[in-house]
Structure 1
Amino acid sequence: MNGQEVVTVYETMVGITERMLDAATASEWDRLAELEQECAAHARRLKANEGVAPLAGQERVRKVDAIRRMLDADRRIRDLTSPWMAHLSSLINSKSTERRVARAYGV
């Protein structure tokens, strides 16, 4: 993988994280999970090609910009998903407690 290909993968990942943000904003959790898998596949591709020579000049600037954009989208996604995850956790814990009470009292 050459430098241009590396930058292209990073920029593709930016597009995916932006779609992830759209999915999280719309509470489309299944779509968000699908996009996470797609993004992870690109990350594995980058990891498999780590031996690429360090980027310089414009390629390096584009890579850094892509990473910053992904981190920003990730933060915004976490801001949207954290309340949902907390709610889901409370539902799971509530059901677990309900089952323990039912077992304890033979209900």
Structure 2
Amino acid sequence: MSTLNLYESMSGLSAQMADAARANDWDRLSTLEHQVSGLREQMILQDPQEPSASLSETERRRKIELIKRMLADDREVRRHTDPWMDGVRQMLGGNVRGRAMRNAYAAMID
């Protein structure tokens, strides 16, 4: 698969990730992220064989367009996942503080 085709595939998956995030479909989002990761690994292995310098001006513009689109999709995903992650951090942090407080009071009672 050419580098440009990999970018095309990654961009399509990236758009699906944004849709999954909007729908709070975390399982689907995770599955799609793994697929993008696989394509990224493939690109890393392939890139030395097909440097960007070999792309035509039209292909370079398309590559830039795809990267910008993926960055916009990433912002959309983060818009939905960051608040959820903040809630998880607060919950876990509260559990840690609660456990520390219970341990401190238990030590005082003993």
TM-score, normalized by length of structure 2?
Answer: 0.86
Aligned residue in 1 for 2:21: 24
- Give the counterpart letter for 2:90 in structure 1: S
Structure 1 residues 69-88: Cα deviation after superposition (integer angstroms, max 9, x where no partner):
10110111111111111111
The structure with more radius of gyration: 2
Runs of at least 5 residues in structure 1 that lack an aligned partner in the other structure? none
Structure number with higher helix proportion: 2
Residue identity (%):
34
Alignment of 1:42-81 (within 5 A): 42-51=39-48, 52-53=50-51, 54=53, 55-81=55-81
- What is the Cα-based RMSD across aligned positions, in Å? 1.5
Number of equivalences: 104
Q: State how far apart, in whole Å, the 1-side matches of 2:101 and 2:31 are.
A: 36
TM-score, normalized by length of structure 1?
Answer: 0.88
Aligned residue in 1 for 2:89: 89
Q: State how far apart, in whole Å, the 1-side matches of 2:26 and 2:103 are.
A: 33
